[in-house]
Amino acid sequence: MLELKDISFEVDADGQKKTILSHVSLTIPDHKMVVLTGPNGGGKSTLARLIAGIEKPTGGKILLDGEDITALSITERAKKGIGFAFQQPVRFKGIRVMDLIRLAAGKNISPSAACDYLSSVGLCAREYIDREVNSSLSGGELKRIEIATVLAKASKLSVFDEPEAGIDLWSFQNLIEVFENMRENIKESSILIISHQERILNIADEVVVLKNGEITSHGSKDEVLPSLIGTASAVPACKKVKEQRR
């Protein structure tokens, strides 16, 4: 279980303090898929980076299973069980997909085991296992390979920052299927997805709305979505999904 207690984050902007997050408290329980949504610029990606350890809060504490991890680095948090997938996956020239999955798993797993992770995200293992993680891969392929590495890591908490960003409609459909499968097979872990997409919101156990650096709504999807879809801030995201379906 991850707990955010009174988290604040400020940055210096032209010599003045700018508040990005203000006194955010949130619990992400085990065995749940939580989707964090809200208007652009509301602080969602910043909150994801704070959880991963890429940034440090200027106030408050972050607890993982009751342990204070606020001061830990991204590497230390990864060892504790926090996995993080970027909006734009990193390309690694000279590194094979097989190597990347082994690094994520933290051990010399067999090609067969690596292929299982690739198959679980809808990729034909034979076609990808020996490919380099470079510009020859599309955005959708990179997204799915990155998700495969998160699965190989077997994280306590897996954080995905706008996984739908920059991928085409076909890849988006596959991405939804991957998350649906992850949701059905949650065991001793939890998932946090930062997203605007209605189809991702619809598979969540809980939806959290972050606006202007503050949580304005938090509950089950049935409690939150009706009012969210009716707001001006949510309409562009929902409209975007409908356009993709055409």
Query: Mind listing the pLDDT tens digit for each residue in 24-44?
Result: 999 999 999 999 999 988 999
pLDDT digits (tens, 9 = 90+) for 121-180: 778 777 888 888 877 887 778 888 888 888 888 788 999 988 887 677 767 787 888 888
Nearest to 25, CA basis, from 4, 56, 52: 4
pLDDT-derived band at 231, boundaries 50, 70, 90:
low
Name the CA dihedral angle for 231, 233, 238, 240, rounded to a multiple of 10 degrees. Answer: 150
Q: Quick one: pLDDT at residue 5?
A: 97
The whole-number average pLDDT for the span 104-112 is 85
Most confident by average pLDDT, 58-72, 141-155, 230-244:
58-72
